[in-house]
C-alpha cells in the first residue's frame, strides 16, 4: 500500500514537472511510469496462467491425534522468472489452529518449490484443506492481485479407538449365554418374541419349525431373558459453550461410543447405535464386519441442533416392539442429565440394572443433582470428564 502511494506521488510530481518544464528525459520518465501498471498487471497475469501447483497429504486414513504432512508443490516450466506468489490456505480454524504460516514463493526458470507443512489432527470430523486463494505481486512490488482457487483436499479424521478389557461399572456380562435351566418353568413357556439367530445363541433356543418355514435360523426369546442386543444411545444435542470445548466434549462422547461398540462387536453382541439427526437414526451391527460402517458414521456425525433427548428416546422405543427393548441392555451417552431425561427413563418398562448412563461432563458441572437422583434410584452411572483420557475406563475404572 505504501509503495502504491509512493508510485502515485512520484507519477504526479513527474507529470507536473513534465507539464511545466520541457525536456526529453522528463517526458521519457513520465511515459515509463505510465507503462509500469501495464507491465505489472501483464506479468501478474502471465504468472497466474503459467505456474502450476499440486498438493497432497501424507496419509490416506487419518485418526484423531495423528501427525500428517501437507505438501504443496509449485512448478515453473518456462524460461521466465515468475512474480512472487503468496498462498492463502483453506483450513478449519480449530483443526489446524496456529499450525502454519502462509508462505511466499519466487519461482525461477525450470524449477519447482516444495513446501511441507506438518499438522496435528486434534479433532475428528470432515475437513477441507487446500489453496483458498493465490496472491501474486508484480516485479516492482507495487501492485498485487488475488485469485480465488477452489482446489482442496477432502479428508476425514476418524475418532481414536480405545480397547476395553471388560465393561466398567455394569452388571452386564458379555460372555453370558442364557440357558433354559436358569429360567423358571413359567418363563420357559412364555415366548416373548421370535428373532433372527445371532452369534452366541444356544441351539436349544432355535425355533426349528419357523426356521424351516423361513429357510433361516429363527430364535425364541423368553420372558425375563436378557437379549443378546445392546443399544448405544448417543445424545447428539448441540451445545452452546466455547466452540473448541464443544468439539472436545463431542469427540469424547463419540470416542466412548466407538469404544463400547468395538468391544461389544468383538464379543459377538448385536449393537444398535442410535442418535438423532432431525429424526432417530439406528445403525445395527451384528458382527465385527459391521464395525467399519459404524465407525465411519461416527467420524462424520455432527451435533447440529438442539432437541429433547428424553423425548427422542421414548419415540425410538415406542416405535419398536415393546418386548424387545424391555429385555435388552442400554448404554446412554449424554452430557446433559436433567429432569426430562429422568422422567423419560421412568416411562420405559426397563429394569434399571440393564441401563448404564455414561455422563460426559465439563469440569464445572460434575455435581449434578439429577445425576445424584439417578444414582440413588439404582441406575449404573459412569462419569467421564471431557478432558480426561479414556485409559482409566480401559482399565475398568470410572472417572
pLDDT digits (tens, 9 = 90+) for 203-225: 666 777 667 766 778 776 554 44
CB 95 within 8 A of CB 248: no
Topology of 50-158 in CATH?
A: Immunoglobulin-like (2.60.40)
CB 304 within 8 A of CB 281: no
From 103-117, 165-179, 316-330, 348-362, the region with the lowest mean pLDDT:
165-179
Q: Is the dihedral of CA 303, 69, 129, 241 positive or negative?
A: positive
- Interaxial angle between packed helices 339-347 and 309-319, expressed in degrees from 0 to 180 and rounded to the nearest 10: 20
CB 343 within 8 A of CB 376: no
C-alpha cell at 297: 458414521
pLDDT digits (tens, 9 = 90+) for 5-41: 777 777 788 788 887 787 778 888 787 778 888 888 8
pLDDT digits (tens, 9 = 90+) for 113-139: 888 888 888 889 888 888 888 888 887
* Separation CA 381–CA 398 (nearest Å): 9
Return the percentage of the chain with pLDDT > 90, whole number: 14
Task: Give the pLDDT score at 240.
Answer: 73
Gyration radius (Cα) of the chain, Å:
32
User: In terms of Cα–Cα distance, which of 355, 378, 392 is closest to 165?
Assistant: 392
Instruction: For residue 296, name the pLDDT band (cuts at 50, 70, 90).
Output: very high
Assign 3-state DSSP to the chain and report helix, strand, coil percentages, each to 5: 35, 30, 35
Q: What is the pTM of this model?
A: 0.72
Q: Which CATH architecture has domain 228-394?
A: 3-Layer(aba) Sandwich (3.40)
pLDDT digits (tens, 9 = 90+) for 301-315: 999 888 889 888 888
Whether pLDDT at 189 is above 70: no
Mean per-residue pLDDT, 333-340: 88
Q: Is the dihedral of CA 198, 203, 206, 208 positive or negative?
A: positive
Instruction: For residue 298, name the pLDDT band (cuts at 50, 70, 90).
Output: very high
**45 CB neighbour count, 10 Å cutoff:** 14
Mean per-residue pLDDT, 287-303: 93
CB 159 within 8 A of CB 258: yes
Task: Give the pLDDT score at 55.
Answer: 87
Whether pLDDT at 176 is above 60: no
* Separation CA 157–CA 66 (nearest Å): 9
Task: Give the pLDDT score at 179.
Answer: 40
* Separation CA 201–CA 372 (nearest Å): 37
pLDDT digits (tens, 9 = 90+) for 96-107: 665 555 678 888
Domain ranges of the chain: 1-33, 50-158, 178-225, 228-394
Amino acid at each position: 500500500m505504501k509503495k502504491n502511494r509512493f508510485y502515485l506521488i512520484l507519477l504526479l510530481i513527474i507529470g507536473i514537472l513534465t507539464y511545466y518544464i520541457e525536456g526529453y528525459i522528463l517526458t521519457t520518465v513520465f511515459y515509463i511510469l505510465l507503462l509500469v501498471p501495464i507491465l505489472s498487471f501483464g506479468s501478474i497475469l502471465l504468472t497466474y496462467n503459467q505456474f502450476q501447483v499440486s498438493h497432497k497429504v501424507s496419509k490416506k486414513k487419518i485418526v484423531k491425534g495423528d501427525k500428517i504432512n501437507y505438501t504443496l508443490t509449485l512448478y515453473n516450466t518456462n524460461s521466465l522468472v515468475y512474480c512472487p506468489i503468496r498462498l492463502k490456505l483453506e483450513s478449519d480454524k480449530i483443526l489446524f489452529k496456529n499450525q502454519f504460516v502462509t508462505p511466499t514463493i519466487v519461482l525461477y526458470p525450470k524449477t519447482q518449490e516444495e513446501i511441507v507443512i506438518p499438522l496435528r489432527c486434534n479433532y475428528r470430523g470432515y475437513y477441507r484443506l487446500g489453496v483458498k486463494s493465490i496472491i501474486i505481486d508484480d516485479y516492482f512490488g507495487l501492485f498485487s492481485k488475488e485469485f480465488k482457487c477452489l482446489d482442496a483436499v477432502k479428508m476425514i479424521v476418524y475418532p481414536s479407538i480405545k480397547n476395553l478389557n471388560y465393561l466398567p461399572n455394569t452388571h452386564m456380562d458379555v460372555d453370558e449365554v442364557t440357558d433354559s435351566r436358569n429360567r423358571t418353568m413359567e418363563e420357559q413357556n412364555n415366548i416373548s418374541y421370535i428373532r433372527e439367530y445371532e452369534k452366541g445363541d444356544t441351539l436349544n433356543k432355535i425355533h426349528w419349525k419357523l426356521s424351516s418355514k423361513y429357510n433361516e435360523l429363527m430364535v425364541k426369546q423368553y420372558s425375563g431373558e436378557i437379549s443378546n442386543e445392546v443399544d448405544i444411545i448417543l445424545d447428539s444435542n448441540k451445545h452452546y459453550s466455547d466452540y473448541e470445548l464443544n468439539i472436545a466434549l463431542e469427540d469424547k462422547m463419540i470416542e466412548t461410543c466407538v469404544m463400547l461398540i468395538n468391544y461389544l462387536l468383538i464379543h459377538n453382541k448385536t449393537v444398535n447405535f442410535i442418535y438423532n439427526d432431525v429424526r432417530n437414526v439406528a445403525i445395527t451391527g451384528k458382527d465385527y464386519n459391521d464395525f467399519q460402517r459404524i465407525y465411519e458414521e461416527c467420524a462424520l456425525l455432527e451435533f447440529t441442533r438442539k432437541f429433547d433427548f428424553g423425548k427422542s428416546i421414548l419415540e425410538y422405543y415406542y416405535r419398536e416392539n415393546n418386548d424387545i427393548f424391555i429385555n435388552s441392555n442400554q448404554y446412554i451417552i449424554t452430557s446433559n442429565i436433567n429432569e426430562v431425561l429422568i422422567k423419560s427413563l421412568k416411562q420405559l418398562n426397563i429394569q434399571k440394572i440393564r441401563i448404564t448412563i455414561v455422563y460426559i461432563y465439563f469440569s464445572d458441572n460434575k455435581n449434578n443433582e439429577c445425576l445424584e437422583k439417578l444414582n440413588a434410584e439404582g441406575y449404573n452411572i459412569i462419569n467421564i470428564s471431557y478432558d480426561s483420557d479414556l485409559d482409566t475406563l480401559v482399565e475398568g475404572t470410572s472417572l
